């Protein structure tokens, strides 16, 4: 429209000047411009009558999986001469193949098709309206419209397959599973010895013990293995998110949470997720593949947030988690988090803290200077003290240097329950 | 094709306007037209250069006509500047879209329309040079009224579109 305005102003100015000075040549100078404007008015686009529809090859994918998007714009009105169709793609998606804008002309009933391939990082993407502008051949008269072609893509976080993650909550559920239940019965691990009862298998009789006592026979008991309630807490506070070399530590925390959720659900456990950041995003506990999908969808949407209420972990809503269940906190951890976590432990929860190492992560992106090394060392000492204090309170801590594969760290730390840990919290 | 025609139009506008201004002794105006034309050719990516060039070329043409430049050169120069200005915008619009459906056909259609309109405009503008018409006050007022009506039509068209 600015073109028409400029041309109109020039033509009008020349006409006025010509008429005021009664100079015919100045009037003649305005004629080409008036003819331009006349042609634009004559051939300008009428009201735009367009329909847009969009199809996508998948609405949920894992990171960096290509998705084909096909956008069709159909002209249900009159002939449109110069049509510019623009589709906007932004974070977390980016175009890897094809184009998102098209310049064409549309006859009545004709359909223009845009096809392109996108892929991206974890997140949720809702396609915005398609912008269409149509102009006359001279581009003077332009009409713009936005067409709704709603579709959404959820890019799920990458899930790493973990080997066994050993947990030992104080209470388990009734169904058989891989978690030691702190109760005697049939199992693999030796649990204790009791007096022989009718029906006990002969191979369970502890012959050495029986030989020492005159009262009778004694039978070995093994620890029952059941499934457990696991509550995952992802720390999504702004203060916990560290950025270095165009990377975010929060992304690693999300990946770790997704992998842990997958591992616990694969073992048959009942898993819930709490994303603790700008607000509380609670995924109710559940089992199996459906719950896995729910958790991954929640993690796909997770963003670091800020809230005065949830600035510290003190307001963790413990009522969300069954009493004496297993809680897994995925957080870089800071000094202020010690008290809330110890309180959780004191309330009877078995707490496992998986902590992506923020000092190592940030120091890796800084220039190798003496003062940087000193600062990193001080921060590292502070972090080590924090982790030690947590361990002293009976909290299991896994410190993860994110340049090491998570599977490797988990396998080294949680592949088997440490011997010293087995006794902690054993019921009388 | 668009680029070549745009360059030819700029050169033609600068040649006719600049040359005629220099020929009448308006050296400064001639040099300014030449300079702006060169800048337009060299810095096409500047967003507003086409509009500013058209505006200045029109001013230069008015100035030239007052100084006694032959009307043909002034009108031809302004028409060439108009064509260059339109092609500049068309090229930008083409560049904005990463994909063009039948680009050569789109270009050809645009050229045909542009040449027809600019040819008609130029012919109609040159007509009074051949057919002399004495303008009386009444006719002038009528033309003025037509101009007002024309402008109001343009404004009325633009307003609902916004």
Cβ neighbour number for residue A330 with a 10 Å cutoff: 29
Please list every residue in chain B whose beta carbon sits closer than 8 Å to the beta carbon of residue A144. 161
Residue-averaged pLDDT of chain A: 87
User: Are residues A32 and B90, on separate chains, in Cβ contact within 8 Å?
Assistant: no
CA nearest neighbour of B13 among B49, B43, B56, B42: B56
How many helices (H) and strands (E) chain A has is answered by 10, 20
Q: Report the alpha-carbon distance of residue A229 to residue A241 in Å, rounded.
A: 28
Given a cut of 50, whether residue A426 has pLDDT beyond it is no
| β-bridge pairing A80-86 and A130-135 | antiparallel
Strand, coil or helix: A349:
coil
Please give the share of chain B, as a percent, with pLDDT higher than 90. 4
Please indicate whether residue B129 or residue B53 has the higher confidence score (pLDDT): B53
- For residue range A66-111, what is the model confidence (pLDDT) as tens digits? 999 999 999 888 888 888 898 888 877 889 998 888 888 888 888 9
Q: Could you say which of B74, B86, B127 has the minimum Cβ distance to residue A29?
A: B74
Find the distance separating the first CA and the last CA of chain B, reported in whole Å: 33
How many pairs of residues across A and B have Cβ atoms under 8 Å apart? 158
- Give chain A's length: 428
Q: Report the alpha-carbon distance of residue A236 to residue B85 in Å, rounded.
A: 54
Q: Could you say which of A8, A10, A23 has the minimum Cβ distance to residue B55?
A: A10
- For residue range B24-57, what is the model confidence (pLDDT) as tens digits? 888 888 888 888 888 888 887 787 888 888 898 8
pLDDT at A72: 92
pLDDT at A296: 95
- For residue range A268-285, what is the model confidence (pLDDT) as tens digits? 899 999 999 888 899 999
Question: In angstroms, what CA-CA distances link A116 with A52, A91, A151?
Answer: 16, 16, 15
Distance from CA of A61 to the nearest CA of B (A): 27
Given a cut of 70, whether residue A1 has pLDDT beyond it is no
What is the pTM assigned to this prediction? 0.72
Cα A96-A102-A106 angle, rounded to 5 deg: 150
Strand, coil or helix: A186:
strand
Given a cut of 90, whether residue B74 has pLDDT beyond it is no
Q: Hey, where are the domains in chain B?
A: 2-136
Q: Report the alpha-carbon distance of residue A82 to residue A105 in Å, rounded.
A: 5
pLDDT at A427: 42
Q: Hey, where are the domains in chain A?
A: 2-43, 50-156, 176-226, 229-422
Phi/psi at A11 (5° precision): -65, -45
Q: Could you say which of B98, B124, B140 has the minimum Cβ distance to residue A31?
A: B124
Q: Could you say which of B86, B99, B118 has the minimum Cβ distance to residue A139?
A: B86
Strand, coil or helix: B160:
helix
Contact A269, A327 (CB under 8 A): no
Cβ neighbour number for residue A288 with a 10 Å cutoff: 12
User: Are residues B51 and A32, on separate chains, in Cβ contact within 8 Å?
Assistant: no
Residues of chain A numbered 12-71 and touching chain B (CB < 8 Å): 12, 14-17, 19, 22-29, 31-37, 39, 41, 43-44
Structure tokens at A243: 């950025």
Q: Which homologous superfamily is A229-422 in? A: von Willebrand factor, type A domain (3.40.50.410)
pLDDT at A374: 93
Cβ neighbour number for residue A65 with a 10 Å cutoff: 14
Cα A93-A99-A104 angle, rounded to 5 deg: 140
Average pLDDT over residues B83-95: 87
User: Are residues A24 and B121, on separate chains, in Cβ contact within 8 Å?
Assistant: no
**Residue that has been written with the tokens 């070399």 in this structure:** A245
Given a cut of 80, whether residue B156 has pLDDT beyond it is no
Q: Report the alpha-carbon distance of residue A138 to residue B83 in Å, rounded.
A: 10
Please give the share of chain B, as a percent, with pLDDT higher than 70. 94
pLDDT at B158: 60
**Residue that has been written with the tokens 């714009």 in this structure:** A73
CATH code linked to domain A50-156: 2.60.40.10
Q: Report the alpha-carbon distance of residue A318 to residue A272 in Å, rounded.
A: 12
Is B73 in CB contact (< 8 Å) with chain A? no
Q: Which residues contact A16 (CB under 8 A, 6 or more apart)?
A: B144, B147
pLDDT at A203: 87
Please list every residue in chain A whose beta carbon sits closer than 8 Å to the beta carbon of residue B151. 8, 12
ipTM confidence score: 0.81
Q: Report the alpha-carbon distance of residue A41 to residue A248 in Å, rounded.
A: 54
């Amino acid at each position: 429209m600015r073109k028409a305005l400029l041309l109109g102003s020039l033509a009008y100015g020349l006409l006025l000047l010509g008429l005021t000075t009664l100079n015919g040549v100045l009037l003649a100078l305005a004629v080409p411009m008036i003819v331009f404007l006349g042609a634009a008015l004559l051939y300008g686009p009428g009201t735009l009558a367009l329909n847009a529809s969009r199809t996508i090859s998948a609405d949920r994918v894992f990171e960096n999986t290509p998705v084909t998007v096909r956008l069709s714009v159909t002209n249900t009105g009159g002939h449109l001469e110069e049509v510019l169709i623009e589709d906007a793609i932004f974070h977390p998606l980016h175009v890897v193949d094809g184009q998102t804008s098209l310049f064409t002309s549309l006859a009545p009933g004709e359909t223009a098709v845009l096809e392109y391939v996108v892929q991206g990082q974890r997140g949720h993407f809702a396609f915005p309206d398609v912008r269409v502008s149509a102009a006359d051949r001279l581009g003077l008269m332009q009409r713009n419209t936005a067409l709704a072609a709603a579709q959404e893509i959820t890019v799920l976080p990458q899930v790493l397959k973990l080997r066994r993650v050993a947990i030992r909550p104080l209470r388990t559920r009734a169904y058989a599973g891989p978690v030691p239940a702190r109760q005697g019965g049939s199992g693999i691990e030796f649990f204790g010895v009791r007096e022989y009862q009718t029906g006990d298998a002969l191979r369970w009789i502890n012959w050495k013990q029986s030989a020492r006592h005159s009262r009778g026979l004694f039978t070995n008991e093994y620890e029952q293995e059941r499934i457990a309630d696991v509550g995952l807490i992802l720390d999504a506070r702004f203060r916990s998110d560290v950025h270095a070399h165009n990377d975010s530590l929060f992304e690693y925390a999300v990946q770790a949470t997704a992998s842990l959720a997958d591992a616990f659900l694969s073992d048959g456990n009942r898993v819930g997720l709490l994303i603790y950041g700008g607000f509380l995003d609670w995924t109710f506990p559940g089992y199996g593949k459906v719950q896995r999908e729910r958790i991954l969808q929640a993690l796909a949407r997770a963003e670091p947030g800020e809230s005065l209420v949830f600035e510290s972990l003190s307001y963790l809503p413990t009522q969300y988690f069954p009493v004496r269940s297993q809680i897994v906190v995925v957080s870089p951890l800071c000094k202020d988090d010690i008290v809330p976590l110890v309180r959780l432990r004191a309330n009877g929860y078995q707490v496992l803290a998986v902590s992506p190492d923020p000092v190592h992560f940030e120091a890796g992106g800084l220039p190798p200077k003496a003062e940087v090394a000193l600062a990193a060392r001080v921060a590292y000492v502070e972090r080590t003290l924090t982790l030690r204090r947590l361990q002293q309170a009976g909290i299991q801590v896994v410190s993860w240097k994110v340049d090491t594969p998570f599977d490797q760290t988990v396998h080294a730390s949680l592949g088997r329950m440490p011997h010293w840990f087995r006794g902690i919290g054993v019921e009388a | 094709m668009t680029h070549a025609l745009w360059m030819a139009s700029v050169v033609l506008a600068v040649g006719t306007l600049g040359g005629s201004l220099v020929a009448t002794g308006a050296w400064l105006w001639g040099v300014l037209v030449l300079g702006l034309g060169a800048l337009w050719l060299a810095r096409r990516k500047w967003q507003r250069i086409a509009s500013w060039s058209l505006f200045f070329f029109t001013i230069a043409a008015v100035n030239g006509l007052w100084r006694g430049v032959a009307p043909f050169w002034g009108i031809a120069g302004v028409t060439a500047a108009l064509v260059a200005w339109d092609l500049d915008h068309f090229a930008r619009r083409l560049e904005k879209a990463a994909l063009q459906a039948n680009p050569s056909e789109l270009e050809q259609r645009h050229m045909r329309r542009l040449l027809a309109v600019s040819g008609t405009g130029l012919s109609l503008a040159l007509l009074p040079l051949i057919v002399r018409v004495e303008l009386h006050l009444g006719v002038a007022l009528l033309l003025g009224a037509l101009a007002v009506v024309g402008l109001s039509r343009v404004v009325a068209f633009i307003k609902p579109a916004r």
